[in-house]
Amino acid sequence: MGTTPTPPGDNEPKGPTGTEDGMVVLSYILAGLIFYGGLGWAGDYFLKTSWLLPVGLILGLVLSLYLIIKRYGSGT
């Protein structure tokens, strides 16, 4: 890539990348579960239903995975 002397590790196979990406995405998964699971729980609590919490958890997880793919999975 180019003629400017870049420090080693600027190329594609970066040293520690991989493990820490896996730990960064953990915060996304938790965020999805907490937010939509929480909304589902609140809905169940106030509407006296019992199916909103699992739906919220699954929806949150799916959205988290979608965001992770968008943020970390596109070609880089």
Partner 1 sequence: MTLGLLPMESGGGGYTPPGVDDFKWDSMWPGVLPDWFNKPFAQAVIGALLVIILWWIASRNLKVKPSKGQFAAEYIYEFVRNGIARDILHSDFRKFLPYLLGLFSFLLVNNWFGEFFLFMYPTFSNVGYAYGLAILSWLIYVGAGFKKWGFGGFLKKALIPEGVPGYLLPIVIPLEFLATFITRPITLALRLFANMFAGHLVVMVFVVGGGFLITYANNTFFNVAGGVSLAFSLVIMLLELFIGALQAYIFTVLTAQYVSTSIAEAH
Binding site for partner 1 (CB under 8 A): 7, 9-10, 14-17, 19-21, 23-24, 26-28, 30-32, 34-35, 60, 63-64, 66-67, 70-71, 74, 76
Distance of closest approach, residue 45 Cβ to partner 1, in angstroms: 19
Q: Which is nearer to partner 1, 45 or 66 (CB)?
A: 66
Give dist(CA 51, CA 28) in Å, integer.
Answer: 23
CB nearer to partner 1: pick between 25 and 53: 25
Report which DSSP code applies to 18.
T
Nearer to partner 1, 16 or 50 (CB): 16
